[in-house]
Amino acid sequence: MREREHGNLGGDWARDAHRGGLTDEYARDGGWSGAGRHDNYARDYGFRGKGPKHWTADERIRALVNDHLTEHDEIDASDIDVSVASGEVTLAGTCGTRREKRLAEDLAWACGGVHDVHNRLAVTDREKAIGKASE
């Protein structure tokens, strides 16, 4: 009987009686929010990464790169200096292997807000350097 009254089981959910006298068009379009329609109420955002005027994230980026270098198990960052200017990260100092050098660069690139990475790390064989110092 219910199917005959309303056309189908869910029939009156988008009808005037349920929406307080508003039209089927209002219900179908999702109400005042514009859900399902592309009009002035539906927003197209795409402003991620655009911060306030004259604001730079250099200190945050520097802290983030330093944290990543410190926490990485395969990098001895004790001789690495990190500086950031206008979103460009500069890695200077020394590291033990070419792998560490590349990992440090990759970690810097992985941080949000980084526009470029200047890898000026010199690779030194730490075992030889330690051996010379102890002799």
Q: What is the pLDDT of residues 1-29, one digit of tens each?
A: 555 555 555 555 554 455 555 555 555 55
The separation between the first and the last C-alpha atoms of the chain, rounded to the nearest angstrom, is 99
Q: 117, 108 in Cβ contact below 8 A?
A: yes
Q: pTM for this structure?
A: 0.57
The pLDDT of residue 66: 97
Convert 46-79 to b/e letters by CB count within 10 Å (16 or more is b).
eeeeeeeeeeebbeebbebbbebbeeeeebebee
Strands 116-123 and 88-95: parallel
- pLDDT tens-digit profile of 31-75? 555 555 555 555 667 787 777 887 778 999 999 999 999 999 999
Range of lowest pLDDT (63-77, 78-92, 116-130): 116-130
* Domain limits, CATH 3.30.1340.30, in the chain: 58-134
Domain range 58-134, CATH class: alpha beta
Least trusted range by pLDDT, from 32-41, 84-93, 111-120: 32-41
